[in-house]
Structure 1
Amino acid sequence: MLLAGGGLSHASVQKTLFSADVVASACHVVVDADGTGSSRLTFGTYRKSSAAPVPPRDFTVRLYETGATVQGCSAFLAGQIATLNFGNPGQLDGQGVVTRGAGDGIRIDVRAADTQA
């Protein structure tokens, strides 16, 4: 920026640095839970009156690129952090997913089986 007037001139230079990871990746996400490829995780019926537990369900979140010869996504070569969100905004807390509309106090505990996850 150059300001001139009244015989005075002022020069100012501002330097701004941007940092970004640019990746050309077509990463797809699939939830493997029931073996049908529906990407849905379905639990049994929970009856609050009986308080009988619902058996836990294991599931795997798979990330892949169509036509790739190796598993995973090349996007992780640039940025190695991925975040998974469960539930809607405001449903997830530090101990699990708080379900709404399914009854008061019903909670679904979501945790990684892999210690590195």
Structure 2
Amino acid sequence: MTWLLVLAGGMLGAPLRYLTDRAVQARHATGFPWGTFTANMAGSVLLGFLTGAALSSHALLFLGTGLCGALTTYSTFSYETLALARGGAGLQAAANALGSVLAGLGAAYVGLTLAQAF
């Protein structure tokens, strides 16, 4: 049962990540990976909110592990950061790495704070 909840959430999160990435990236002419950054921040704030909300373990598996796990992407973030560095955009690579970690933690905190406020 557990893996079915994670699978179902992932089936929603993965296309949502892809569509978010494409929609955001289409609006930016730079080589910076704004689409992945946006998807990761959205997933971080949502996971923070879900963590602070009084949800059942089944809901957390579906929404937290499945949906947010597929919405966010460490592998694409890593790949795009390395691609920036290898392409001579070391400052953008460093900004992506540091910015993603700091903004992701901040987004999770904001989500957690919002959940506790409700």
Question: For this structure pair, what is the TM-score category when the shorter chain's length is used for normalisation?
Answer: 0.3 to 0.5
TM-score normalized by structure 1?
0.32
- Would you tell me which structure has more strand in proportion to its own residues? 1
Which structure would you say has the larger RCO, counting Cα contacts within 8 Å and 6 or more residues apart? 2
Larger CA Rg, structure 1 vs 2? 1
TM-score where L is the length of structure 2: 0.32
More helix by share: 2
